[in-house]
Structure 1
């Protein structure tokens, strides 16, 4: 796939970044604007397209920008490689073990 379009929830954003392709975030509510902005700030996709401003034309433009901007694909691949090297489980286990017991 050349790019992904999603609502930019935390889990979906992570999945998109792991895919190593540009992401187009279309946030709806809660934390989604944050993660959609994070994608753009990391250089892995265009600026977010808020759901309330979503039109077929704007979505088409955002997708075109995502797939035609080589730096988005390059940065997405760099991020995917970095994520692949992370051990996401061990830090959580260590944090849980560090919690005070009753």
Structure 2
């Protein structure tokens, strides 16, 4: 298989372990599953910390500190009832947003100035 869309896959798993890119993180949040994030560059660190701060993922694991024990602990943490429930709640909130529409309104307003 060459690739599997996150939008299809993430709804079918208990948690996702990923690099923390904006698109992958958004797909995990939208799917309502906890994240285990191992960031390695750019904005990935910010998204990893945001998921943790929101209570929908484990504490980020830096690439240099990654070990099987730390990954196992992060997975256990992410699968706790509290984190799983937080992820589902956030997903429901995201589903009610009209982000693209609101963004378009802001752009139109700025162009009218």
- In 1, Cα distance between equivalents of 2:23 and 2:102: 18
- Listed as ranges, the gaps of 5+ residues in structure 1 are none
User: TM-score normalized by structure 2?
Assistant: 0.82
Note if 1:24 corresponds to 2:36.
yes
Note if 1:71 corresponds to 2:85.
no
- In 1, Cα distance between equivalents of 2:94 and 2:111: 30
Corresponding residue to 1:84 among 78, 90, 95: 95
Answer yes or no: is the 8 Å Cα contact 2:77–2:83 preserved in 1: no
C-alpha deviation, 1:56, in angstroms:
2.2
- In 2, Cα distance between equivalents of 1:15 and 1:22: 11
Tell me the secondary structure at the aligned position of residue 17 of structure 2: strand
Structure 1 vs Structure 2 CA RMSD: 1.3
Deviates more, 1:78-87 or 1:58-67: 58-67
Aligned position for 1:47: 59
Tell me the secondary structure at the aligned position of residue 47 of structure 2: helix
User: TM-score normalized by structure 1?
Assistant: 0.90
* Number of positions where the alignment pairs a residue of Structure 1 with one of Structure 2: 100
Corresponding residue to 1:4 among 2, 16, 31: 16
Greater relative CO, 1 or 2 (CA 8 Å, sep 6+):
1
Moved over 6 A (4+): none
1:42-86 residue CA offsets vs partner (Å, 9 max, x unmatched): 01111111112112222122112211x111001000000000111
Aligned position for 1:95: 106
